[in-house]
Amino acid sequence: MKTNASIVYFLTRSFFLGYGISLILHQSGKDAYFGAILGVLLGLIITYFYNDIINNKKEKSLKYLYSKHKIIGKSANILMFIASYLILLYSLILYSVFVISFLLINSPVIYVIIPFLIIGFYLAFKSLKIISRVASILLPISIIFSIIAFLGLGSFFEVNNFLPILTNTPASFIKTAIYFAGISTFPNILTLHFHDDAKNNMKIYLIACIMIIMTCIAINGVFGEDLTKIFRFPEYMVLKQLQAFKFIEKVENIFSNIWIFDLFITMVMSIYSIKETIPPKNNKLITVLILIITVFFTNKVFVFDYVNELRLYYILPYLSLFLAISIAILFKYLIKKTN
């Protein structure tokens, strides 16, 4: 894909690992995918507004838009920095907790995070074109792995796990929709840095959401409503059912790489966005300092502290929607000022 749209796929999926999928499954249980479909519709509306901003600003950078109005521009810049930093923080927390819990169990957090950040920092200071190229390479791998995993898990589905349907209250479905829309669209704030035509963004957003809903169906179909609530990372645990040729073990570690792809591209884009929100002079040094502080927070405050993780877990959907809508409104105003 020649445009930056492939990045949208990974941004949309990234915060569903551990947090997002567990949240919507806990909220609506076996009916979670019905609320998720409503969330997709709401997410498409938010994505449409993002695309409208991208198309109307055309080749203009966000820094140019900031300069068109002193107060609104500065407010938009600050909000974009806060959003970008939160996306970076969430990405690193999810990556660290997931990798240390399942893939590199005995490794210190620092050893897990630092290589991840170094590669991300390198890519972020290249260009959007390079980031998009990496995302375009990873996109078909992620989609193929997702489809293979879903089809492979189909033989483990229990029909009773899906019945009876629509047993939750309307309020539960609305909450699920809000959760889904907030979690799926929040990282896509970073797409406002795009300079090309955004016509493919909604299509890729929809594909990513379908993959998430397929994951929810697979988890519920295999585990059922009650068992699903026990697992912290049900999307990983369900992959343990898969086998390759009846002799290859730990297949889940191969398929779970699709979640690492999501977090990696999101982390790279968040660093890119942070770099774009700070003064160009010494921006490499300032970004490095920000990353060091983030590593400290991730290691000391959140990883292995389940209470702090839960706080982020429940704050994320509402904070996501607030920042997404606020930033969209501010940039829409700034674009109006430039035309």
For 306, the token pair is 């389940």
Question: What value does the mean pLDDT take over residues 1-11?
Answer: 83
The pLDDT value recorded for residue 33 is: 83
Q: What percent of the chain has pLDDT over 90?
A: 24
User: pLDDT of 40-86, one tens digit each?
Assistant: 999 999 899 888 888 888 777 888 787 777 788 888 888 899 999 98
Question: What value does the mean pLDDT take over residues 316-324?
Answer: 77
Given a contact cutoff of 8 angstroms between Cβ atoms, the answer to whether 216 and 235 are in contact is: no
The pLDDT value recorded for residue 84 is: 92
The pLDDT value recorded for residue 254 is: 80
User: Per-domain residue ranges for the chain?
Assistant: 5-338
Query: How much is the pTM?
Result: 0.90
The pLDDT value recorded for residue 1 is: 43
Q: What is the architecture of the domain spanning 5-338?
A: Up-down Bundle (1.20)
Residue 2 in this model has a pLDDT that exceeds 60 = no
- Which one-letter amino acid corresponds to residue 228? T
The pLDDT value recorded for residue 307 is: 55
What is the secondary structure of 68-92 as a DSSP string?
T-HHHHHHHHHHHHHHHHHHHHHHH
User: pLDDT of 138-182, one tens digit each?
Assistant: 999 999 999 988 888 888 888 888 877 777 788 888 888 888 988
The pLDDT value recorded for residue 238 is: 85
First and final C-alpha spacing in the chain = 30
In the chain, at which residue ranges do the beta strands (DSSP E only) sit? none
User: pLDDT of 204-259, one tens digit each?
Assistant: 999 999 999 999 888 888 888 877 878 878 888 888 877 755 555 667 778 888 99
The pLDDT value recorded for residue 195 is: 81
Question: What value does the mean pLDDT take over residues 132-137?
Answer: 92
Give the residue from 69, 143, 96, 27 showing the smallest Cα distance to 263: 96
Beta partners for 248?
Answer: 244
User: pLDDT of 259-306, one tens digit each?
Assistant: 999 999 999 999 999 998 888 788 889 999 999 888 887 777 666 655
The pLDDT value recorded for residue 211 is: 93
